[in-house]
Amino acid sequence: METDETWTSDEYGRSHEGRVGVLLDDGSVPKPVYFDSASGSSGWEVSHWSVYDGAGTYLTRPKAHLLRAECSCGWTGTGHTVDWTTVGEAPFRESGLPTADRCEEDWDTHLRDVDDTTVRLPTALEALLQTVTTAIEDLAEDSPTAAIKAARTLELIARRTAHWPAHDARDQDSKRVAADLGLSVDATRGLLARFGGWHPHG
């Protein structure tokens, strides 16, 4: 089992899943660290940035030199040097948290850059969608069931209005369509299949 922490957004999901990556002082990416279970019969691999602290009782773990944001799309952020002189007795998960937070801020900037490359919606439509969103949120305070009905209506509208556009987009260059949506090619195929009504692997 490998444990890690990742970041995702509602808009892009796992197409742009972020995490804190680690580089050693030689510029290499360390392998996951293996931890034995208490019984010694099994164990698990951990690649969370905080385990690369140079510690270890029997086998010294690699020591992080840089932390950087990484995204499932292949993008990597600027490396931030780990200042081991300020760590003291605090565990690396605590002392390194400000550096890890900077990585998440870099990933947030990356998502804004991705958003800037996607196809633009007409300003009037964006404003209308925001108005509808606010109206449903306000409605939920008075009547949760009415808000659910409104959201269900939006689902039906999406299904009706996206059916033929999905078929048209299917005939276009898949990488271009994916770029317009800010999604991976696989995620785009799944989205088009859902709206178009065909099997995603068909």
pLDDT tens, position by position, 129-184: 999 999 999 999 999 999 999 999 999 999 999 999 999 999 999 999 999 999 99
For 180, what's the count of Cα atoms within 13 Å in the CB-facing half-sphere? 14
> What tens digit of pLDDT does each residue of 43-84 get?
788 899 999 999 876 667 899 999 999 999 999 999 999 989
Residue 138's identity, in one-letter code, is D
**pLDDT of amino acid 2:** 42
Name the E strands within 64-119: 66-71, 80-81
Q: What is the pTM of this model?
A: 0.87
Residue 46: helix, strand or coil by DSSP?
A: strand
Dist CA 26 CA 8 (whole Å): 30
Exposed e or buried b per residue across 22-53, where buried means at least 16 C-beta atoms within 10 angstroms of its C-beta: bbeeeeeebeebeeeeeeeeeeeebbbbbbbb
Name the residue ranges covered by the structural domains of the chain.
Answer: 2-117, 123-196
> What tens digit of pLDDT does each residue of 10-53 get?
999 999 999 999 999 999 999 998 877 665 567 788 899 999 99
Name the E strands within the chain: 2-3, 18-23, 33-36, 43-46, 66-71, 80-81
Residue 103's identity, in one-letter code, is C
Task: List all residues 6 or more positions away from 132 whose beta carbon is below 8 Å from its beta carbon.
Answer: 154
Distance between start and end Cα atoms, the chain: 32
Residue 132's identity, in one-letter code, is V
